[in-house]
Structure 1
Amino acid sequence: MEWREAISEYKSYLKLEKSLSDNTLEAYLRDLRKLEFFSDKNPIEIGKSDVEEFLYQFAKSETAIRSQARLISSLKSFFGYLQLEDWRSDNPAELLETPKLGMKLPDTLSEEEIDKLVAAIDLSLAEGERNRAIIETLYGCGLRVSELTELKLSDLFFEEDFIRVTGKGNKQRLIPISGYTVKYINLYKEHIRNHQVIQKGFEDYLFLNRRGKNLTRVMIFTIIKNLAERAGIHKKISPHTFRHSFATHLLKNGADLRSIQMMLGHESITTTEIYTHLDDKDMRNAILTYHPRSK
């Protein structure tokens, strides 16, 4: 079995059996191509020592623990698939130890910083109303960037105060939407989108570019990066920062963890528990208020 055949069949397996998103699927395949490039053996011939040497060389050039952990996960999954299909009797990556990641606290924006970003939008430009609606939807609904770019007009149920979102693994969920966010989406729809020439096949997409097609992930990143620069915000922010801010602000204001889990579309509540962290100000106030030596 050659690499091209193995990777092609593995890709079909991931897509059909595991229902992975396109982004996750591509990350797995990139990892396998690195091993293909490194080794002069085919997938059936590679042994445990070959995999260990590959990982050793990779770790010398890539120090990020998360990248190393994902690579090991990709290899275990791939060779496990070859076992499943009886191409191999063993999994040379099976006993590899995944490095401990620890808890990485997500970056968030304060309410004031989000207001500054919105204020930096130039509403005199045609895309200004669209960009404001994008920011308010990311922050108001806690969407992933792929969920935002795939949002359709047919997913908007404003009379019932919710939207329908298609998340990872094509799983759909309903998210409540506030009248505040609805207002800015409607302003964009009525004053900008309704006057655009929309390309065939893109009539149902909510957020469109100037050519009448749906926005890409890269374009959303670019919009946010430019806004941050104009607003004078020096944090490294991305579309996901608004999702983190959405969850953190909800929790801080009294929302229960289970509701936040459902709105974010997390399979496990342990993923959502990362938002229970306290910021430095909260910890300082807790010590000054409640520690007996502070009285």
Structure 2
Amino acid sequence: MKPEEIRVQLSEQPLTPETPIAEAGAIWLARLASAGIDSDDDDDDLDERTREQQRHHARPTITSYETALRIFVRWAERNGRTRLGDLQITDLVTYARTLRKRSYDLSQRAATQHPDRRERLSERTIHAYVRPLFGFLALADSQGAISFRIAAARPEVSRVLPRLPDPVAPTPPDLRRLVRFYDKPHGEEHERQMLTRLRNAALLHVLFSTGARISEALSLDVGDVVRDRRILPRVIVRGKGRREGTLFIRRHAEQALHRYLAARHWPSATEPLFIAFDPRTAGSRLSRISGWRIVTSAANALADRLIWEGKTDEAELLRQVTPHTFRHFVGYHLLNEGVSLAEVSQILRHRSVEVTRSFYASYTDVQLQEVHDQFSADPWPDE
């Protein structure tokens, strides 16, 4: 039996009060892993990328949920709660409080080898461990496998969770110099070195032009951006939550993509846009880790140059650059040019304008301060 068939079969098992919590968790995770995929499809007819596009949850998300669930199951079993029917609302509240205790360490190895190094979990980590439990228990609740309603448990647990600070996008450095880091060779190049540099340049230009998430950029195929050897000005992409959005390719990014694909002799539409060129993984889709390395290596190299120019503050900001910094730069730059918050929200493909507002709240406060200082009335001078 194929892995996908095993997951689908496991996900269809019913939950009862007698179901072990660990087994119920495996059933819930199997449902997440197969969500959105038609079980009648032939596995041989769907490649892995197509299956990933059909999933409602990305693999890293499922992996983080699995970690959170494993930690909860370990805690529950230590406290005599092995079946779904054993759980009570007070158990969930106690678990949330336990996560907040300084003496609690989730790592068994740390507890045995470094008992004096236990540190308090961050607020975001606590929420990341508790939040998936609501989804897991909602499934159990829908099948009558627990003795309480999840709607009643949620406010009780939320009351003891630490309050999260409002998300704020960090003020990014000026990336207009960084985006051209790979445009020109820094010496003689062999073919593989040239292809690597052109690929890196194209990636930076795409991030700078579109504000795309690194996962969105790396998921593109050649056919997503090219028609008859012409770079498309608008590219359809699926972002978080499988929501469809548009990436806008500006002239500089179009030229970088054209140089890169021409050097690859215009590969077929089904091939990945950004591929690896090292001998071990040549031809495979560029990994997220490699994408990060391309960006951070350029940022650090440019920072070294700026140190020699005496621009230490700018260099320090560049050392903190990640692929996501390009996204923040696009947001800040558009707002600074007078683009409305609603339009920036659509360009960045946020779930709602309120998400955009929360991320750039500190920026809008600064902007309002500048407007207030510039246009507010002053008292008449003393006569």
SS of corresponding position for 2:27: helix
- Aligned residue identity for 2:23: E
Q: Percent identity?
A: 20
- Aligned residue identity for 1:118: R
SS of corresponding position for 1:165: strand
Q: Where does 1:127-276 land on structure 2 (aligned, <5 Å)?
A: 127-156=196-225, 161-191=233-263, 193-194=264-265, 203-210=270-277, 211-232=282-303, 233-235=315-317, 236-273=320-357, 274-275=359-360
| Alignment pair present for 1:79 and 2:137 | yes
TM-score, with normalisation over the residues of structure 2?
0.66
Q: Where does 1:53-72 land on structure 2 (aligned, <5 Å)?
A: 53-59=94-100, 60=102, 61-72=119-130
**Shift in Å, 1:205:** 0.8
Rounded to whole Å, the distance in 2 between the matches of 1:224 and 1:83 is: 45
- RMSD over aligned CA atoms reads 3.0
Q: Rate the CA distance shift 1:259–1:165 in 2: closer, same or farther, 3 A.
A: same
SS of corresponding position for 2:169: coil
Q: Rate the CA distance shift 1:160–1:119 in 2: closer, same or farther, 3 A.
A: closer
Deviations 1:192-235 (A, max 9, x none): x3399x9xxx9521000111111111111222222221111333
| Alignment pair present for 1:100 and 2:158 | no
Q: Rate the CA distance shift 1:278–1:183 in 2: closer, same or farther, 3 A.
A: same
TM-score, with normalisation over the residues of structure 1?
0.84
User: Bigger CA drift: 203-212 or 8-17?
Assistant: 8-17
Unaligned runs of 5+ in 1: none
Q: Which structure has the larger Rg over C-alpha atoms? A: 2
Q: Rate the CA distance shift 1:46–1:62 in 2: closer, same or farther, 3 A.
A: farther
Higher relative contact order (CA 8 A, sep 6+): 1
Aligned residues: 289
CA contact (8 A) 1:145 1:217 kept: yes
**Shift in Å, 1:118:** 3.2
Unaligned runs of 5+ in 2: 1-18, 37-54, 103-118, 187-192, 304-314
Rounded to whole Å, the distance in 1 between the matches of 2:75 and 2:166 is: 31
- Aligned residue identity for 2:207: L
Deviations 1:1-36 (A, max 9, x none): 234432222123334169222222222221111112
**Shift in Å, 1:84:** 1.2
CA contact (8 A) 1:123 1:129 kept: no
- Aligned residue identity for 2:126: Q
